[in-house]
Amino acid sequence: MEFVSIRIITGDVARLVEFYERATGVEATWATEEFAELRTAGATLAIAGAGTVSVFGPGAARPADNHSVIIEFLVDDVDRVHRNLTGFVTDFVNEPTTMPWGNRSLLFRDPDGNLVNFFTPVTPAAKEKFAR
């Protein structure tokens, strides 16, 4: 098995795609007006409109209703990314902070309120875990 993507259901696909393109520097590929993907080497972030939920079953997902998932991106320098996002991101949950497990982490919310974590491994064990 291989984990390949996570999908966010939103009420405004264009707004959320634009946010993630700016935040990540990754250009989205659009399949329809209601579905786009930001592909990275490790996985894909899919963004779909609320109208696509009916394909899975009515009420299977609701836009802007996530309270349990954190979308995470490995970045080269989380402090530099924080400086670049300041003035763009409006809801930082924390400033870059070194976590007990060895990652320096920046947590913020996207326009739908989803938690996003940009992190950089800083301890030897964390660096080894994410060595490419």
Q: Half-sphere exposure of residue 99, counting CA atoms within 13 Å on the CB side?
A: 16
Contact predicate 10/49, CB 8 Å: yes
pLDDT tens track for 99-128? 999 999 999 999 999 999 999 999 999 999
- Residue 1: how many other CB atoms lie within 10 Å: 3
Strands 44-49, 103-109: pairing kind: unpaired
The position carrying tokens 């991101």 is 89
Contact predicate 91/112, CB 8 Å: no
Length of the chain in residues, anyone?
Answer: 132
Q: What does the block give as tokens for 111?
A: 């326009």
Q: Which domains does the chain have, with CATH numbers?
A: 1-65 (3.30.720.120), 66-132 (3.10.180.10)
Q: What is the pTM of this model?
A: 0.93
Instruction: Please give the Cα distance from 127 to 52 (Å, whole number).
Output: 39
pLDDT tens track for 84-94? 999 999 999 99
pLDDT tens track for 12-40? 999 999 999 999 999 999 999 999 999 99
Beta bridge partners of 47: 8, 36
